Structure 1
Amino acid sequence: MKLKDRKRQDILDAALVEFGEIGFAAARINRIAELASVSKRTLYNHFESKEALFDAIIDKLLADARCFQIAEHDPETSIESQLRKTAMAYLPFIEDSNHLALARVVTSEFIRNPKMSRRLFERDRVRQGPFTNLIAEAMQAGKLKQADAGYAATQFMASIKAFLYWPQLMAGTDLPSDEQINKIIDDAVTMFMALYKPDK
């Protein structure tokens, strides 16, 4: 990594610490520069304002989400198996400690500042979740009932993240046991199929 890129990353890491400890509004540029071991001038060479720093953290969170491989429908495999496999593959991403640290900073600030939250959803409203493509293709193939694939994917993800993301993000709880994780995902698939299984 080039020196310039390393300094930029050091500044972002320092901002993440400062925002996480005292929030965006109370965060101080002087303190962020001190934590990053750079001058204020160097910090401003990379980021023109505290808002630009926070936007960069949001960009990192969104970029990480986009890196997750979009699942494609396999006509030779049951949709239940594919949903379960994709959910299991998604878990390490949403439970990654770096991802959770970023998400905690962003989420806490959005609670304080709904206007900032709306900016994110406006910027990222077209992002495709990891299940949307799979579900849309399964609907086209007649394996699932015709519906809004994005809406259906959100329902499926929500039934999993209620147990395997939000408690860890908001309360710092440990993940359930492997047996419990399997049950949560199996139950999510069962409920999803009860709603979207095609009519005979």
Structure 2
Amino acid sequence: MGLTEQKNKQIVEAAIQEFQERGFAGASMDRISERAQVSKRTVYNHFDSKETLFRAINQCMFDQLQASMEIRFDPSVPIREELVRLGWTQGKILTDPAGMNMARMMMGELLRDPALAANMNRRLDMVRIVRDFLDAAVQSGKLAIPDTWLAAEQFLGLIKSQGFYPKLFGEEVVSKTELEAIIQSTVDMFLNSYAAEVE
């Protein structure tokens, strides 16, 4: 890694900590430069504004999140186990305090900046990831779903309605025990509607 790349990495990591702790409005480029142990001029050489830095962090985080959420359906595994695995792939950020702090801060920015929201939706398409998984399950004969896009929205909605939105405006995150129960009940409801066979 070259010096420029190293400085860029230091700035991004420092900015993530700053945004997580203070939110976008309270974040300071001065504190980011102190955290990164670089001059303020260096920060501005890499990112010309706090908004530019925030968008770069979003891009970095969503690229990582998207990669971590990619999941392939395994037809050799019982469908219940596969759906539970899918639920945990989608829900693991909900149990991460740092991830939820960033999500809370980003939600505020989405309300402030509709263009940012549209851009994020284009980049992070969780519904597509789940739909692709469900399409493979349908093709294998494990599920019978007439509209996999709708079913993907339903699957995500059941998890988020219990594990994400109630925690969005508080300080806590859903516990792993709570999330396990949420995922199990989601899978129960999903199989009641869409199971093609009993295993």
What TM-score do the two structures reach when normalised by structure 2? 0.77
CA separation of 1:4/1:102 partners in 2, compared to 1, >3 Å: closer, same or farther? farther
Q: Which residue of 1 aligns with 2:116?
A: 116
**What secondary structure sits across from 1:48 in the alignment?**
coil
Mapped pair 1:136 → 2:123: no
- How do 1:178-197 and structure 2 match up within 5 A? 178=177, 180-197=178-195
Mapped to 1, the partners of 2:153 and 2:112 lie a distance apart of 24
Residues 1-200 of structure 1 aligned to structure 2 (within 5 Å) = 3-20=3-20, 23-24=23-24, 27-68=27-68, 70-125=70-125, 128-129=128-129, 131-176=130-175, 178=177, 180-198=178-196
Partner Cα separation in structure 1 for residue 26 and residue 173 of structure 2: 30
1:159-178 per-residue CA deviation (whole Å, 9 max, x = no partner) reads 12223333444312243462
Q: State the one-letter code of the partner of 1:146.
A: I
Distance 1:136 1:30, change over 3 A: same
Q: Sequence identity of aligned pairs in percent?
A: 32
| Partner Cα separation in structure 2 for residue 87 and residue 22 of structure 1 | 30
CA RMSD for the aligned pairs? 3.1
- Which piece of structure 1 moves more, 46-55 or 12-21? 12-21
Q: Are residues 196 and 127 of structure 1, via their aligned partners in 2, closer, same or farther at CA, if it must alter by over 3 Å?
A: closer
Question: 97-106 vs 38-47, which deviates more?
Answer: 97-106
Q: Which runs of 5+ in 1 are unaligned?
A: none
Paired AA for residue 160 in structure 1: I
Aligned 8 A contact 2:91 2:159 in 1: no
Q: Counterpart of 1:56 in 2: which secondary structure?
A: helix
- Partners of 1:75 and 1:126 lie apart in 2 by 21
CA distance in 2, matches of 1:44, 1:176: 39
Q: Displacement, 1:37? A: 3.1
Once residues 173 and 69 of structure 1 are traced to their aligned partners in structure 2, the CA distance between those partners, rounded to angstroms, is 23
Q: For the residues of structure 2 that align with 1:173 and 1:52, how far apart are their CA atoms?
A: 29
Tell me how far 1:137 sits from its aligned partner: 0.7
Residues paired across the two proteins, number = 197
Alpha carbons of 1:69 and 1:19: their partners in 2 closer, same or farther (altered >3 Å)? closer
Could you tell me whether the CA contact under 8 Å between 1:95 and 1:165 is conserved in 2? Answer: no
Task: Give the direction of change, closer, same or farther, for the CA distance of 1:170–1:96 in structure 2 (3 Å limit).
Answer: same
Q: Give the conservation status (yes or no) of the 8 Å contact 2:71–2:133.
A: yes
Task: Give the AA of the match of 1:113.
Answer: D
1:20 to partner: Cα distance = 4.5
Change (3 A) 1:166 1:13: farther
On the 8 A contact 2:97/2:172 being kept in 1, the answer is no
Report deviation, 1:59.
Answer: 0.8
Kept after mapping to 2: 8 A contact 1:145/1:197: yes
